[in-house]
Amino acid sequence: MWCPCLTQRATGHETDCTGLQLPVTSGSLDRGLTVRSLSPSCSWSERDVELTYENFGAAEIIEAVVGDPCRGHSRIGHLVQFNLREHLLPYKHLIGQVILDKLQPAVTTVVNKSDNIVTEFRNFQFEVLAGDGNTQVSVFENNCTFEFDFAKVSG
């Protein structure tokens, strides 16, 4: 993650302020951060900035809490479908709630594929991790709107 700050650069007789990005290490989600920046008069000032849950994206929160980025998901209309690996299953409801928090109102249901596809019709079972559980989705693709029940779709 990067924190935008300002620094001073002298060019001949003129002085201008340009953007500089300083790295911020991840770890605890609620932490204070001291940001050194230039005030409009180009003198140094120092202030504390409190970073909270709202300052981070879903991927950053999940990686900070679980220790592993959560990959392997699809967005189908208002529904996000995960295929969580076994070591992430203890965190499945937390992952679902973070996705819901960060992507609402566009996302209202988060599900996880709960088993492998074994039938000849390629149906799979899934578990609702967060949200209202509505599987009736609408997807707009190539100037066409497709409406279907995700629970009845083959994998």
Among 17-21, 36-40, 79-83, name the one with the lowest average pLDDT.
17-21
| Length of the chain, in residues | 155
CA angle 105, 108, 111 (to 5 degrees): 145
Question: Taking the model in full, what pTM does it have?
Answer: 0.65
Among 10-14, 24-28, 32-36, 135-139, name the one with the lowest average pLDDT.
10-14
Mean pLDDT of the chain: 75
Point out which residues pair with 147 in neighbouring strands. 138
Could you state, in order of their start, the residue ranges of all structural domains in the chain? 70-149
pLDDT tens digits for range 73-83: 889 999 999 98
pLDDT tens digits for range 102-116: 999 999 999 998 766
With b meaning 16 or more CB within 10 Å and e meaning fewer, what string describes 38-74? beeeeeeeeeeeebeeeebebebbbeeebeeebeebe
Task: Return d(Cα 20, Cα 16) in angstroms, integer.
Answer: 13
Topology adopted by domain 70-149 = GMP Synthetase; Chain A, domain 3 (3.30.300)
**Do 101 and 129 meet the contact criterion of CB atoms below 8 Å apart?**
no
Single out the residue of 138, 133, 64, 50 nearest to residue 94, CA to CA: 64
